[in-house]
């Protein structure tokens, strides 16, 4: 006796069968509805999710325009709101970057440049944690402000952000709004890689010397370099005005943020001894670092500091460069990032502010408040070097 063929779907009350494709579609719609409902409830209860510790892949910022005014809208909001008219009555310069441009509040690069150029409208569109991908996004959106020049000082967050996300993704302009939506989603926040406890300490104790066995930032360095170069070139390409690209400053007085201790069990217990910054303490610390921590970031930093005290400039720069390159928790971009910034300026029509060529790889420690953020004096020094370049761009 032959058996009837198996059913491909359930019968409805009218006797019709529901196809497999319709069942999949129905399940997808129901799943999406549940997820969107959960997202809506989460937003009603807690608002937008907080940034991913200090560093986020694409900053939660965008430009919004209404009533003749354009505002830098970040979620959560920054301490200071940037708002400007969409119809400037004098030359206008826009600054883009991360916290190195935004901080210190009211005494940053933008405010220092404004004091030096009172006849120019200087607009600060920087935000804490901003990646170069978001710089590109805001560069394109800044057309609403009708700028005459765009200044970009960015790159540190490309390297520190990888510690938190554990991967490197390419960037295309059409992807940036999608990144922005994900950054505002509790579902995405829940699925994002959670940093280890020691990496959370980076935001709680900036400048601390921390032990870690996570070499993510080192193994992905080539991909990081490629992304920085790609995103900077993208930012220049979509900018509505001539771009000034700046190389980066770093505080050489501060040791590396991290020490890779995988396979070096005694190193973590020695870190409290390795923070010496001058004098005989440096040589004692170097002996301990060489004995317990191998050829890592802290060892090369100490060698560089000793060479600097001895007046050996080449050895000092070599130690500093190696230390930055080996830092597994890199709050500061390696010196190679400056080479990438120079390459982008050479490949595009951007004007280059080469701070390293001007002040060297060892700017004074008093220019900083921590490993990378500028003091008021440091911000004024950068503004002093920007002023003639801005004037030149505006005169063309």
Please give the structure tokens belonging to residue 361.
Answer: 């790889």
Output the pLDDT for position 361: 92
What are the φ/ψ torsions at residue 152 (nearest 5 degrees)? -120, 120
Q: What is the largest CA-CA distance in the chain?
A: 99
Distance CA(189)–CA(205), nearest Å, equals 23
State the span(s) of the chain assigned CATH 3.40.50.1110.
Answer: 61-252+331-395
Reduce the DSSP state of residue 284 to 3 states and report it.
helix
Question: 67: phi > 0 → left, psi -120 to 50 → alpha, else beta; which?
Answer: left
Output the pLDDT for position 198: 42
- Residues facing residue 351 across a β-bridge: 244
Q: ω into residue 225 within 30 of 0, thus cis?
A: no
Q: pLDDT of the chain along its 396 residues, tens only? A: 555 555 555 554 455 567 888 888 888 888 888 888 888 888 788 776 654 433 344 556 889 999 999 999 886 677 778 889 988 899 999 999 999 999 888 899 999 999 999 999 999 999 888 888 889 889 999 999 999 999 999 999 888 776 655 444 445 555 555 655 665 677 766 665 444 444 444 444 555 688 888 887 888 788 788 888 988 998 999 999 999 999 999 999 999 988 898 888 889 888 877 776 666 688 999 999 999 999 999 999 999 999 999 999 999 999 999 999 999 888 899 999 999 999 999 999 899 999 999 999 999 999 999 889 999 999 999 999 999 999 999 998
Distance CA(263)–CA(146), nearest Å, equals 55
Distance CA(339)–CA(330), nearest Å, equals 17
Distance CA(37)–CA(27), nearest Å, equals 15
- Residues facing residue 352 across a β-bridge: 245
Topology of domain 61-252+331-395 in CATH is Rossmann fold (3.40.50)
Angle among Cα 141, 350, 95 to the nearest 5 degrees reads: 45
Please give the structure tokens belonging to residue 13.
Answer: 């009350």
- 351: Cβ contacts below 8 Å, ≥ 6 apart: 242, 243, 244, 245, 345, 389, 392, 393
Output the pLDDT for position 295: 94
């Amino acid at each position: 006796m032959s058996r009837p063929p198996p059913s491909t779907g359930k019968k409805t009350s009218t006797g019709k069968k529901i196809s497999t494709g319709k069942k999949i579609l129905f399940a997808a719609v129901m799943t999406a509805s549940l997820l969107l409902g959960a997202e809506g409830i989460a937003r009603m209860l807690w608002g937008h999710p907080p940034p991913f510790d200090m560093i986020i892949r694409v900053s939660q910022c965008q430009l919004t325009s209404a009533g003749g005014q354009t505002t830098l809208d970040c979620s959560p909001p920054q301490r200071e709101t940037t708002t400007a008219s969409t119809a400037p009555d004098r030359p206008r310069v826009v600054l883009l970057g991360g916290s190195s441009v935004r901080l210190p509040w009211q005494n940053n690069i933008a405010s220092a440049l404004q004091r030096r150029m009172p006849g120019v409208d200087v607009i600060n569109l920087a935000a804490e944690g901003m990646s170069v991908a978001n710089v590109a996004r805001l560069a394109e959106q800044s057309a609403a402000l009708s700028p005459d020049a765009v200044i970009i000082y960015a790159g540190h967050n490309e390297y520190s952000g990888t510690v938190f996300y554990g991967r490197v993704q390419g960037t295309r302009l059409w992807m940036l709004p999608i990144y922005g939506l994900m950054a505002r989603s509790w579902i995405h926040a829940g699925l994002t890689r959670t940093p280890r406890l020691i990496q959370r300490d980076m935001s709680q104790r900036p400048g601390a010397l921390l032990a870690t066995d996570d070499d993510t930032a080192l193994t992905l360095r080539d991909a990081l370099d490629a992304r920085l170069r790609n995103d900077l070139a993208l930012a220049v390409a979509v900018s509505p005005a001539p771009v000034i690209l700046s190389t980066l400053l770093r505080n050489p007085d501060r040791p590396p943020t991290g020490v890779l201790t995988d396979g070096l069990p005694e190193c973590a217990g020695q870190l409290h001894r390795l923070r010496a910054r001058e004098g005989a303490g440096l040589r004692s610390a170097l002996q301990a670092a060489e004995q317990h921590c191998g050829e890592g970031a802290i060892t090369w930093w100490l060698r560089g500091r000793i060479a600097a005290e001895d007046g050996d400039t080449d050895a000092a720069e070599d130690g500093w460069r190696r230390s930055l390159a080996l830092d597994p928790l890199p709050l500061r971009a390696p010196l190679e990032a400056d080479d990438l910034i120079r390459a982008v300026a050479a490949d595009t029509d951007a004007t280059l502010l080469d701070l390293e060529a001007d002040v060297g790889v060892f700017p004074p420690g008093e220019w900083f408040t921590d490993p990378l953020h500028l003091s008021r004096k440091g911000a004024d020094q950068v503004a002093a070097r920007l002023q003639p370049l801005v004037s030149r761009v505006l005169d063309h």
